[in-house]
Amino acid sequence: MVSPITHTVPEDPSCAVEIPPSTKARLSLDDERSWIVTDEVNVFTWPGPDLRIVDREDPARRFAYGFLPKGLTKAVIESLRVQTKAGSTKAVDRD
């Protein structure tokens, strides 16, 4: 299961955590604002057709952009916990 990332501004700010520009830059993501969605998780077989190679030369970065900062990770986990406890998290099958 993974939490999706979107450029769409969340209707309910409590259902997503914004990724700071500094984190996006470090991960070589685009400059647009992005949020990690916390009221939805995508379920799929790993690895699968949606997994793209990031760096063919570096095995450590082959399928990963990098790590999220500790504070952002904690915020996402806490938001997921709140959404799940409220019964508002939905699982979307992506296979």
CA 94 → CA 17, 36, 81, 91, distances in Å? 22, 17, 22, 9
Terminal-residue alpha carbon distance, the chain: 11
Q: For residue 21, what pLDDT is reported?
A: 97
Please give the pLDDT value at position 57: 81
CA distance 5 to 65: 13
What is the enclosing helix (H) or strand (E) of 92? strand 90-93
pLDDT at 2: 85
Mean pLDDT for each consecutive 10-residue tract of the chain (95 residues)?
Answer: 92 95 92 96 75 71 77 96 92 84
Position 40, amino acid: E
pLDDT at 45: 78
The pLDDT of residue 60: 65
